[in-house]
Homo-oligomer: A and B are copies of this chain.
């Protein structure tokens, strides 16, 4: 078991992505609350099509404010070489390039097949590295597609292998629609780890079917050293209306603390940030700790 897990806070991107757009000032309020948790990595925004993802249309404006938090490593999601260029131009030092493992999802999201998206890794790495930007390749729908069902692990390994060959700095595998459970988590990670050398592997889980924390814990037990989470469990999936979103940062921190795994995120500050998120989006969030609070510890 690892003794430390890096948590990346994704509420500002994945968390807000399908919400009704909130003003930049509100995002900065959420960012301040998130920064107060002590988290070292924040996925701040996405450089994608503003017409397809209106909630991320202010990506460059938000990026211009990030210098106020010099201790945090900010990243942005991109889906194309053009997005990588925009992120670098906006001053981001780290990007996530997302590739869906199944064609139906990939075409619906970015207009390219999974293989076409994979073929762009080299170009994106070159754009990023030319600007001193690090790249994480994220394999989306790594376990299940909302359209095609189970993703063949072979397809994930093809993307991962291509990413390694083309110089990605990090990798992660994402349960985009919140369907995976511990056994399948451990099985895929056991297949991925041998082909990535010493490149750090992260996991991204949604709690859509209740098993998000169980899956995250299985991932850490299997060798993942990085986890995405979102204060309040902000974030959802457009394919599962009403479903819960990303695993909640505070719920994850609670579980990892009991597991003697060190994280940079303060539990009470994360609960506070979850309350800020709830108030900014104006509806209940699925976080358990936001309702129940910490247990008594003596």
Contacts and interface: CB of A to CB of B under 8 A. Distances in A.
Interface residues of A, number: 45
A52 interface: no
The prevalent SS among residues of A at the interface is loop
Contacts of A258: 180-184
Interface string A206-226: 011111011001000000000
Interface stretch (A109-117, A121-129, A144-152): A144-152
A80 interface: no
| Copies of this chain assembled into the complex | 2
A255 B149 contact: no
A248 interface: yes
Most chain-B Cβ atoms within 10 A of its Cβ — which of A213, A248, A254, A298?
Answer: A213
A289 B147 CA distance: 18
Contacts of A298: 148-150
A288 interface: yes
Nearest to A261: B183
Interface stretch (A38-46, A54-62, A195-203, A238-246): A238-246
B289 A210 contact: yes
A208 B288 contact: yes
